């Protein structure tokens, strides 16, 4: 599915952004933070520099109405082509390691092996709902979520702003597993952004 198709889904009126900023939205409940959906299709030659350049904002939501509209109209994650990435972040934060809000953090990653089901689609929408609903005990620690569609294993990563306290990170991981209704024996892995920047792929924590 191309970027054009995704944009068309998010704007059923074909008129840019009015469908996400209607009068009905203004009468709805405001979100704690505005959130923005980004699109990226990486390739083998992607560097951090051209990743930031190619990252495209699709829609920004700041009311319950507009958020629900967006979630209802985003493409089914299970139908996205391999290599596609979608990021849903607080609008004042870019889904980039270099963003100052992410510099001292890391990410909890949920890896889902492809099995022909649409499991990834529900998990992705639930991950978005967990953000816009400020469901976490300390919602300010959740910067965003990233969906990565790959050939054999899809991933959803929850980006955390502060990785300095392992106990707090484990508490977040426990909530993620409960909210997404993952099995008790399901494993989440945590990686520090600082390690990722150095090319170190080791896991800081397993939960």
- Residue 3, pLDDT score: 47
**Per residue in 81-129, pLDDT tens?**
999 999 999 999 999 988 999 999 999 999 999 988 889 999 999 999 9
Split into its structural domains, the chain has a count of: 1
Give the range of the structural domain holding residue 168, as residue numbers without chain letter: 3-206
Percent of the chain topping pLDDT 90: 58
Q: What is the CATH number of the domain that holds 21?
A: 3.30.760.10
> Can you spell out the DSSP letters for 30-89?
EEEEEEEEEEE---TT--HHHHHHH-EEEEEEEEHHHHHHHHHHSPPGGGSPTT-EEEEE
Residue 98 has what pLDDT?
A: 86
The pLDDT of residue 50 is: 61
pLDDT tops 70 at residue 24: no
């Amino acid at each position: 599915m191309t970027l054009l198709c995704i944009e068309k889904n998010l704007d059923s009126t074909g008129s840019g952004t009015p469908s996400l900023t209607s009068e009905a939205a203004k009468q709805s409940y405001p979100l704690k933070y505005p959130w923005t959906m980004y699109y990226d299709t990486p390739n083998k030659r992607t560097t951090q520099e051209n990743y930031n350049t190619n990252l495209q904002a699709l829609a920004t939501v700041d009311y319950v109405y507009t958020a629900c509209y967006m979630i209802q109209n985003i493409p089914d994650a299970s139908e996205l082509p391999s290599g596609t990435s979608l990021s849903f972040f607080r609008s004042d934060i870019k889904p980039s390691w270099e963003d100052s809000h992410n510099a001292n953090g890391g990410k909890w990653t949920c890896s889902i092996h492809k099995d022909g089901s649409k499991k990834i689609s529900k998990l992705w929408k639930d991950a978005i709902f967990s953000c816009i609903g400020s469901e976490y005990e300390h919602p300010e620690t959740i910067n965003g979520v990233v969906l990565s569609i790959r050939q054999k294993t899809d991933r959803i990563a929850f980006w955390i702003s502060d990785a300095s306290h392992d106990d707090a990170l484990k508490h977040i991981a426990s909530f993620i597993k409960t909210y997404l209704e993952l099995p008790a024996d399901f494993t989440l892995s945590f990686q520090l952004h600082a390690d990722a920047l150095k090319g170190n792929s080791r896991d800081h924590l397993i939960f």
